[in-house]
A and B are shown apart, each in its own frame.
Chain A
């Protein structure tokens, strides 16, 4: 827990992506930052009841869950659409030859 060795800002690419997505949606006016943090705090508290959160993957899993729920509530991304596209991306990864760019079929 010292700052002698530099640590990466984001340890996983998707941490950076979900962070940027949220900052971008806030800046484009979809929601205010205090609204975001209130919801995010609730998710962290809820997850923290079950076990101690480590501040890494745990933290960004809570972040993603908050964003998914918020976008569903705002009517911007319905859970069934998210699941359909998640499956479509999975399919795309599994059927794209290694080294080729992964693209959605639909």
Chain B
């Protein structure tokens, strides 16, 4: 039935899975196992407060501060936690740095593990069978579909995420960005560049 709201005699019926989620919520709320306010808080956090900007600030800081970058590459978990970005599921964050020799790319072949605190909720393509299956098998081809062509001599290293370990790619700092502030640099850092399926923007 088309969404002809004006003529609707009753409230619009949500799709079946939405009703099943409602049913679970009702059962668990009645058993005192969940707090509906906490659910709203989680949705608000992921919808409005956590996103790739967090990761972009970490990358921009790494570009600007070699000491910070060294600590990040050694063990990123406490370094990003100090900035207020920590995994709600207690996972470890591993930062991997792109160089002219090696380009890093992240996938989760089993499901969709992703550095939520730094990048938010993964996009649909990251969760698709196509990406999950092909990133490991033919990364260069997948990159080409994202519009990324690397020099012949650059090796591609693909990191498979797990429930415990999530990866953040530190892309190479673009040329012509000398003297830019951390905030300005962060504007160049795209989500895809931190997953390894894109490159940072060039400065305007």
Residues of A within 8 A of B (CB): 1-3, 7, 9-14, 16-21, 23-28, 30, 33-34, 36-38, 40-41, 44-45, 48, 52-56, 59-61, 64, 67-68, 71, 76-77, 81-86, 88-90, 93-100, 102, 104
Contacts and interface: CB of A to CB of B under 8 A. Distances in A.
Contacts of A37: 110-111, 113, 162-163
Contact of B20 (A28, A64, A100): A64
Nearest to A37: B163
Given A14-B21, A16-B47, A20-B46, 9 more contacts: A9-B46, A20-B42, A23-B42, A33-B89, A45-B110, A54-B124, A59-B128, A77-B28, A99-B11
Interface stretch (B74-82, B169-177, B180-188, B190-198): B190-198
A17 B186 CA distance: 31
A59 B124 contact: yes
B43 to A, nearest CB: 5
Nearest to A74: B33
Contacts of A56: 124, 127
Nearest to A14: B18
A13 B33 contact: no
Nearest to B18: A14
A100 B11 contact: yes
A13 B145 CA distance: 30
Interface stretch (B2-10, B63-71, B151-159): B2-10
5 contacts: A14-B18, A18-B17, A19-B42, A54-B124, A64-B20
